[in-house]
Chain A
């Protein structure tokens, strides 16, 4: 078995309000694609409930950073009570979603993903020695890069949600203001 280490453990992001869910999916996937990460969808479910849609989306994209090390993320997104609503921004009406989003970010570093050093216990011992003492600086560098990347994505998602703070649902806009909104 290869040696998998968890570097970022369950970083959580929560948001309630307006947002464009399809845009969020596209933004995350575009970011992963730009980083050259391979795509893997572990779960993609969408259930219609009486209070709105429940969506669960789990992806585990990965990237081989050398012939020995591989990084992978686990991003789990849960969306509760998701409904389509009309909102207003700068006197313009747009269709958005409203719901509660819960996101978890994990990041892992996998050593020896090709299983070349795990046939016999002696090889496993050598692998551990190399990882801990000889390749220590490389391992740490990969870990730092991985942490930076997952935090970057976290901030990106946070910024994306913040952008929707400026939108107001039509139900909250006073009727005299709505008159100027082009439908």
Chain B
């Protein structure tokens, strides 16, 4: 049950988590570049917070990546996307492309989690006194409630995170690739 403080002064709104698991062969460099390119194109600041390279086992290497991308969307609103990336038993293999050229790909298992959240009042301008906090709460609950419920959250979840998920599916050539919600938040965005 959420506490009273959360209910009345909440400044953060989470999205669900999109999970993805893959076993097979993939091009890690291409995947990484595409994901980061997309975030950069969307004006996110990208931070690789954790990169762990664990001691290789006979099956391969285990690597962990924790990425965070943040974008100050408006004066009052910030988008944050968290990506957790874990590879198991990864080892490099040489593959022959249809045109006969050889490339180094990665073979192993992959686990990815995508989630994000909106931060309201990210500059913390309305946190100094209790009165300011109450004003912010009033503003959130009565003035911008519809935008919070129907526009901003959808922008983050459908336009930003699901687009990223779709890019990963496309790069991995997954059977479930496709992005049905591409026009959910507008055609020209």
Contacts and interface: CB of A to CB of B under 8 A. Distances in A.
Interface of A: 1, 21-22, 25-26, 29-30, 32-33, 38-48, 53, 55, 57, 79, 82, 97, 115, 118-119
Contacts, number: 70
Contact of A39 (B1, B158, B174): B158
A182 B16 CA distance: 47
B1 A44 contact: no
Interface in B1-39: 1-2, 16, 18-25
A182 to B, nearest CB: 22
Interface string B161-184: 010010001001011111011001
Contact of B178 (A1, A26, A42, A47): A26
Nearest to B175: A21
Nearest to A39: B181
B158 A48 contact: no
A82 B175 contact: yes
Interface of B: 1-2, 16, 18-25, 157-158, 162, 165, 169, 172, 174-178, 180-181, 184
Given A22-B178, A57-B176, A41 B18 contact: yes
A54 to B, nearest CB: 9
Contacts of A29: 178, 180-181
22 contacts: A21-B175, A21-B176, A22-B175, A25-B175, A25-B176, A25-B178, A26-B178, A29-B178, A39-B157, A39-B181, A41-B19, A43-B19, A43-B21, A44-B21, A44-B174, A45-B20, A45-B21, A45-B22, A47-B23, A47-B24, A48-B23, A55-B175
